[in-house]
């Protein structure tokens, strides 16, 4: 079945550092790919998405490119802030299936 | 964008009682909603998929009689935890598929504590 493998955390960075969280997937057909962010005690917020190969999703300085050849959707941000501290989830929805498959989540802590 | 409102945000109940959690789509019609459970520092576990007007589809290992899901209208899905026990304490999150955005929107979650 469809699955997502996400870089394990936790990740601790200093402000203005570069952030990368790796995400690879296994799926049949052409899935849609998502990054969600969860702040403490809250639900999930969509950070960005990509629905076809070579699409680049971007939001709030975060970017991720849908790479079909490497089945990856790595999240990057060039200069993190303390407010970026959260848990980040990579997710996939199958082409013929509305269910979302989530990665394990990566906890990111940014120190001032 | 599409918004889902989930209530209550937290609830404490006694063992043996039932608790109902509501999930409403505020500005769109949600034909498909999902219920997740999240343990501390873990990912989301899909419990069931609910489709408006039909029975929910439960994931393997989820007790249908304990976690009752009702999706009677296009804007409301409810999860009732029946005869709750301390091991049911968890963070429950609902989600709705948003066809016009080819994505999903999530409720803010409900922290259930059973004492």
Of A57-71, B6-20, B89-103, the one with minimum mean pLDDT is B89-103
In the predicted model, what is the mean pLDDT of residues B43-67? 92
Given a cut of 80, whether residue B31 has pLDDT beyond it is yes
Interacting residues of A36 by C-beta distance below 8 A, sequence separation 6+: A44, A45, A46, A47, A88, A89, A91, A102, B106
Q: Does A100 touch chain B (CB under 8 A)?
A: yes
Are the beta carbons of B103 and A32 separated by less than 8 Å?
yes
- At A11, phi and psi to the nearest 5? -115, 130
Nearest CA in chain A to B98: A98
In the predicted model, what is the mean pLDDT of residues B49-61? 91
Q: Does B82 touch chain A (CB under 8 A)?
A: no
pLDDT at residue number A102: 92
Q: State the first-to-last Cα distance of chain B, in angstroms, to the nearest integer.
A: 37
pLDDT at residue number B38: 92
Contact residues on chain A for B102, CB-CB shorter than 8 A: 32, 49, 51
Q: Does A3 touch chain B (CB under 8 A)?
A: no
How far is Cα A18 from Cα A69, in angstroms, rounded to an integer? 24
Q: Indicate left, alpha or beta for A58 from its phi (over 0: left) and psi (-120 to 50: alpha).
A: beta
In the predicted model, what is the mean pLDDT of residues B90-98? 93
Of A46, A98, A104, the CB nearest to B43: A104
Q: Does B21 touch chain A (CB under 8 A)?
A: no
Nearest CA in chain A to B34: A99
Percent of chain B with pLDDT over 70: 100
pLDDT at residue number A96: 67
pLDDT at residue number B86: 96
3-class secondary structure, B88: helix
Contact residues on chain A for B104, CB-CB shorter than 8 A: 34, 46, 93, 100
Q: Indicate left, alpha or beta for B113 from its phi (over 0: left) and psi (-120 to 50: alpha).
A: beta
> What digits encode the pLDDT tens for the residues A45-103?
999 999 999 999 999 999 999 999 999 999 999 999 999 999 999 999 987 667 889 99
pLDDT at residue number A28: 84
Between B38 and B99, name the one with better pLDDT. B38
Given a cut of 80, whether residue A7 has pLDDT beyond it is yes
Interacting residues of A44 by C-beta distance below 8 A, sequence separation 6+: A36, A37, A38, A89, B44, B93, B95, B106
CA A63 vs CA A25, A73, A111: distances in Å: 17, 9, 21
In the predicted model, what is the mean pLDDT of residues B29-35? 92
- Smallest CA-to-CA distance from B44 within B55, B34, B53, B54 is with B34
SS (H, E, C) B18-78: CEEEEEEECCCCCCEEEEEEECCCCCEEEEEEEECCCCCEECCCCCCCCEEEEEEECCEEE
B107 Cα to chain A: minimum distance (Å): 6
Pseudo-torsion of CA A108, A4, A54, B97, nearest 10°? -90
How far is Cα A44 from Cα A38, in angstroms, rounded to an integer? 5
Are the beta carbons of B95 and A99 separated by less than 8 Å?
no
């Amino acid at each position: 079945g469809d699955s997502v493998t996400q870089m394990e955390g936790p990740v601790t960075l200093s402000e203005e550092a570069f952030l990368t969280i790796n995400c690879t997937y296994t799926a049949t057909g052409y899935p849609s790919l998502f990054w969600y962010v969860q702040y403490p005690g809250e639900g999930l917020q969509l950070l960005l998405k990509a629905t076809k190969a070579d699409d680049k999703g971007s939001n709030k300085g975060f970017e991720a490119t849908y790479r079909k050849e490497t089945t990856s959707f790595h999240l990057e941000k060039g200069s993190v802030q303390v407010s970026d501290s959260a848990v980040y989830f990579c997710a996939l929805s199958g082409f013929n299936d509305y269910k979302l498959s989530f990665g394990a989540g990566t906890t990111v802590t940014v120190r001032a | 964008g599409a918004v889902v409102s989930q209530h209550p945000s937290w609830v404490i109940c006694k063992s043996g009682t039932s608790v109902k959690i509501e999930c409403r789509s505020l500005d769109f019609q949600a034909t498909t909603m999902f219920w997740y459970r999240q343990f501390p520092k873990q990912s989301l576990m899909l419990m069931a998929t609910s489709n408006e007007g039909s029975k929910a589809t439960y994931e393997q290992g989820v007790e249908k009689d304990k976690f009752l899901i009702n999706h009677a209208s296009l804007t409301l899905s409810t999860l009732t935890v029946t005869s709750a026990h301390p091991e049911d304490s968890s963070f429950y999150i609902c989600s709705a598929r948003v066809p016009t955005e080819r994505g999903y929107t999530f409720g803010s979650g409900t922290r259930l504590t059973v004492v």
